[in-house]
Amino acid sequence: MTVMPMFPLGSVLMPGGLLTLHVFEPRYRALVQTCLESGDHEFGVVLIDRGSEVGGGDVRRDAGTVARMVEVGETPDGRYAVVAVGTRRIKVLTWLPDDPYPQALVDEWADEPGGASMADDMADDIADVVEELASRSRRAIALALELGDEIGAHDDDISEDPLVASYQLATLAPLGAADRYDLLCARGARARLDALARQLDDVEAVLQFRLGG
């Protein structure tokens, strides 16, 4: 367990994912300064359940990801441009007072080996499952772009490691924050891929409906 600076956001950061921030609020400028002075340059990222990223008073989810700052630039007026990478999952045990910035007592949350069983027709070769879900995600992105949806920059170079791939696909697929959060919370890689397959069923159905409307 450790006390960690926390940055609640309206989006979900996965382990291995890239996070870019424009930091202008005084409390988060203080957070960046603290992280720069620390040896690991790390802070936690959690999803805001209700409320806004700006101003405080938000309600936060209790699962998140540690972000490690890899690039930091400061403007003349004291704002920061931060590039960070997600490293590992955490669970919030207790939220502490937001003084001078959000902080929480957190614990590491490792993925379970294997996790929940996948459907029988998907369990024989997880590499095939990863390849199929990657293809489905790319097709869904293409359809969303055709419909004029805004899709953020993404890296579709998928790892051969099933755990890493499960997080990459959770980032790649065009999902809402709540669905992505559910994938973050999956017990392990197999459970995450199984859940993603079900979510893509819904995404594909909605996109096809919109195309035919």
Q: What is the pLDDT of residues 46-102, one digit of tens each?
A: 998 875 555 556 688 999 999 999 999 999 998 999 999 999 999 999 999 988 999
Return contacts of 156-160, CB within 8 angstroms, 24+ apart: 158/130, 158/131, 158/134, 160/127
Pairing assessment for the beta strands 80-96 and 18-23 based on DSSP bridges: antiparallel
Percent of the chain with pLDDT over 70: 89
What residues does CATH 2.30.130.40 cover in the chain? 2-108
Mean pLDDT of the chain: 88
Composition of the chain by helix, strand, coil, percent to 5 = 40, 30, 35
Q: Within 10 A of 54 (CB to CB), how many other CB atoms are there?
A: 9
What is the Cβ-side half-sphere exposure of residue 12, based on CA atoms within 13 angstroms? 27
Domain 2-108 annotated CATH 2.30.130.40: yes
pLDDT digits (tens, 9 = 90+) for 138-187: 999 988 888 888 776 666 789 989 999 999 999 999 999 999 999 999 99
Q: Name the pLDDT band for 115 (thresholds 50, 70, 90).
A: very low
